[in-house]
């Protein structure tokens, strides 16, 4: 019985992988949900997506007043990563997560520096013509952070264009995404779906 179950499971898994890899089909896989009020439901499982980088603008280097003084761990959903490898563009339905982590300490056994402390917030951006036809580039920006309680909200409302979208529009390296700060995405752009950049000699 166990063997039959296993065989059925493996065939199912293989079919899923094949159908996702087939041209076009993977485009439909979505990694986010909008609720009935048009708010983004807080994404889950994103630490098993593709990690693209960790920018940091510490207070010490910004007159004690950095706009975003914490570490930003950035992740992209796996299907949009695949699409970016194939086309070098962001698909309809792309989602990137920015997980905020405080600067926890500045001294380690290896020397002085900036070391990660605690999780303090969560933000996201999605590209969706379906839900945001009027936003520049169809990109919308969200936060789930509640600085007072320290917990995360279950849904997030899109910010006004001027609050987030405009800066991304004018300064981001590739469309609205700050690829100039994400070596993983720069290495992936247009390499083709079957290439695994980290396995090549150039990485």
- Of 70, 99, 123, 135, which lies in the binding site for ligand HEC, with binding defined by CB under 6 A? 123
- Of 73, 94, 125, 138, which lies in the binding site for ligand HEC, with binding defined by CB under 6 A? 125
Does the footprint of ligand HEC cover residue 115 (CB under 6 A)? no
- Judged by CB under 6 A, the chain residues 89 through 108 that form the site for ligand HEC are 96, 98
Binding-site residue total for ligand HEC (CB under 6 A)?
Answer: 22
Neighbours of 147 (CB within 10 A): 8
Check: CB of residue 163 under 8 Å from CB of residue 151. Answer: no
d(CA 84, CA 102): 30
Closest by alpha carbon to 23, among 74, 83, 91, 96? 83
Q: What is the 3-state secondary structure (H, E, C) of 17-74?
A: HHHHHCCCHHHHCCCCCECCCCCEECCCCHHHCEEEECCECCHHHCCCCCCCCCEEEE
Does the footprint of ligand HEC cover residue 141 (CB under 6 A)? yes
Pick between residue 55 and residue 197 the one whose CB is nearest to ligand HEC: 55
- Of 66, 116, 159, 161, which lies in the binding site for ligand HEC, with binding defined by CB under 6 A? 159
Closest by alpha carbon to 32, among 163, 98, 125, 121? 125
Does the footprint of ligand HEC cover residue 181 (CB under 6 A)? yes
Does the footprint of ligand HEC cover residue 188 (CB under 6 A)? no
User: Which stretches of the chain bind ligand HEC, using CB under 6 A?
Assistant: 55, 57, 68, 72, 74, 96, 98, 123-125, 141-143, 159, 163-164, 167-168, 176-178, 181
């Amino acid at each position: 019985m166990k063997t039959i179950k296993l065989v059925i499971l493996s065939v199912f898994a293989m079919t899923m992988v094949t159908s996702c890899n087939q041209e076009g089909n993977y485009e439909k896989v979505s990694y986010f949900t909008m609720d009935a009020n048009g708010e983004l439901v807080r994404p889950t499982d994103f630490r098993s997506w593709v990690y693209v980088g960790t920018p940091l603008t510490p207070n010490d280097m910004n007159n004690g007043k950095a706009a975003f003084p914490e570490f930003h761990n950035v992740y992209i959903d796996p299907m949009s990563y695949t699409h970016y490898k194939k086309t070098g563009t962001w698909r309809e339905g792309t989602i990137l997560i920015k997980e905020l982590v405080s600067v926890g300490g500045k001294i380690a056994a290896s020397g002085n520096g900036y070391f990660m402390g605690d999780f303090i917030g969560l933000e996201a951006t999605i590209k969706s013509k379906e839900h945001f036809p009027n936003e520049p580039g169809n990109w919308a920006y969200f936060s789930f952070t509640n600085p007072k309680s320290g917990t995360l909200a279950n849904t997030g409302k899109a910010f006004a264009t001027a609050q987030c979208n405009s800066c991304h529009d004018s300064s981001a390296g590739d469309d609205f995404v700050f690829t100039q700060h994400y070596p993983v995405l720069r290495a992936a752009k247009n390499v083709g779906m079957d290439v695994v950049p980290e396995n090549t000699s150039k990485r």
